[in-house]
């Protein structure tokens, strides 16, 4: 399982997986792999979300206090298709979160943990263990003002292969991921500290203040100064 696919069935439908066809009732969450596909007449009756290992790695640290104990005595049997029931009102909430994939992922996993803590605790730990080395390195160094080529050289891989690793772990290119993480960190610093904006830009991995300002305005639709003033 290279990534997790979450599918919300609002009405009954079918899942196609490795030649098998599985019936799924309405108001069900299906946690499966990227190989599964849905068969349903009305596309509006279901939604799906692909969760990449890097995103699950970050999610783990946000929900770790909710996880069950780590039991190494028995290997986790990862089900290719795991079905969790949802009530109609919860399905409505999930659909409202559909515009924010990270918030949607967090909400769904917290719900799944409440329904089967042992299984979903093990699932998150599985992805953490199997993707630890590369992801830890990327998340520890994204604030360095390095180019994608420098990251590739430090990891001992070609740029093309590094981009493949990013798509596998995060679903985006290395350049896109680095920019997004730097902007998220910079926004947090703007809101929670009194640092000068120039210093925040440098601390977040931007070589030039103007580049930071332009990227920030494009991402958050306001300049850093306005963002800070709004929450002061």
**Residue 50 maps to which CATH number?**
2.60.120
Q: What are phi and psi of 194, to 5 degrees?
A: -105, 15
With cut-offs at 50, 70 and 90, classify the pLDDT of residue 75: low
pLDDT at 7: 95
Give the residue numbers spanning the domain of 9. 4-130
Across residues 46-56, what is the average pLDDT? 87
Considering the domain architecture, whether residues 73 and 121 belong to the same structural domain is answered as yes
Considering the domain architecture, whether residues 77 and 103 belong to the same structural domain is answered as yes
Residue, of 107 and 68, whose pLDDT is higher: 107
Please give the Cα distance from 170 to 139 (Å, whole number).
12
Instruction: Tell me which of 84, 105, 130 is where a domain ends.
Output: 130
Residue-averaged pLDDT of the chain = 87
Considering the domain architecture, whether residues 33 and 124 belong to the same structural domain is answered as yes
Considering the domain architecture, whether residues 34 and 84 belong to the same structural domain is answered as yes
Across residues 27-41, what is the average pLDDT? 90
pLDDT at 203: 93
Considering the domain architecture, whether residues 118 and 32 belong to the same structural domain is answered as yes
What tens digit of pLDDT does each residue of 105-142 get? 999 999 999 999 999 998 888 877 765 567 678 778 88
pLDDT at 128: 74
Considering the domain architecture, whether residues 46 and 75 belong to the same structural domain is answered as yes
What tens digit of pLDDT does each residue of 151-210 get? 889 888 888 888 888 887 777 888 888 998 899 899 999 999 999 999 999 999 998 889
Considering the domain architecture, whether residues 30 and 117 belong to the same structural domain is answered as yes
Considering the domain architecture, whether residues 119 and 164 belong to the same structural domain is answered as no
CATH number, position 179:
1.10.10.60
pLDDT at 74: 63
Q: What's the domain count of the chain?
A: 2
Considering the domain architecture, whether residues 82 and 164 belong to the same structural domain is answered as no
Considering the domain architecture, whether residues 112 and 37 belong to the same structural domain is answered as yes
pLDDT at 136: 75
- Checking if the pLDDT of 223 tops 80, the result is yes
- Checking if the pLDDT of 73 tops 60, the result is no
Considering the domain architecture, whether residues 213 and 187 belong to the same structural domain is answered as yes
Looking at 11-15, 74-78, 114-118, 147-151, which range is the least confident one?
74-78
pLDDT at 69: 80
Contacts of 70 (CB under 8 A, 6+ apart): 121, 125
Looking at 18-32, 56-70, 139-153, which range is the least confident one?
56-70
pLDDT at 1: 61
**Among residues of the chain, what percentage have pLDDT more than 90?**
42
Nearest to 101 by CA among 39, 168, 52: 52
Please give the Cα distance from 27 to 137 (Å, whole number).
39
Considering the domain architecture, whether residues 120 and 181 belong to the same structural domain is answered as no
Please give the Cα distance from 191 to 183 (Å, whole number).
12
């Amino acid at each position: 399982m290279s990534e997790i696919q979450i599918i919300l069935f609002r009405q009954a439908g079918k899942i196609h997986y490795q030649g098998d066809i599985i019936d799924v009732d309405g108001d069900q969450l299906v946690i499966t792999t990227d190989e599964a596909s849905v068969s349903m007449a009305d596309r509006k009756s279901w939604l799906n979300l692909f969760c990449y290992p890097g995103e699950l790695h970050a999610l783990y640290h946000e929900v770790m206090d909710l996880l069950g104990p780590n039991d190494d005595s028995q290997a986790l049997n990862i089900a290719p298709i795991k079905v969790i029931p949802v009530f109609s009102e919860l399905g409505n909430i999930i659909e409202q979160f559909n515009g924010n994939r990270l918030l949607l992922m967090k909400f769904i996993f917290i719900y799944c943990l409440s329904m089967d803590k042992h299984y979903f605790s093990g699932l998150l730990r599985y992805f953490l263990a199997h993707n630890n080395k590369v992801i830890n390195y990327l998340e520890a160094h994204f604030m360095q003002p390095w180019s994608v080529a420098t990251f590739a050289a430090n990891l001992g891989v070609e740029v093309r292969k590094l981009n493949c690793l990013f798509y596998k772990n995060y679903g985006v290119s290395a350049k896109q991921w680095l920019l997004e993480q730097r902007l998220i960190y910079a926004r947090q610093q703007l809101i929670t500290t009194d640092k000068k904006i120039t210093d925040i830009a440098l601390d977040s991995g931007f070589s030039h203040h103007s580049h930071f300002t332009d990227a920030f305005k494009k991402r958050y639709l306001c300049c850093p100064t306005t963002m800070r003033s709004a929450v002061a």
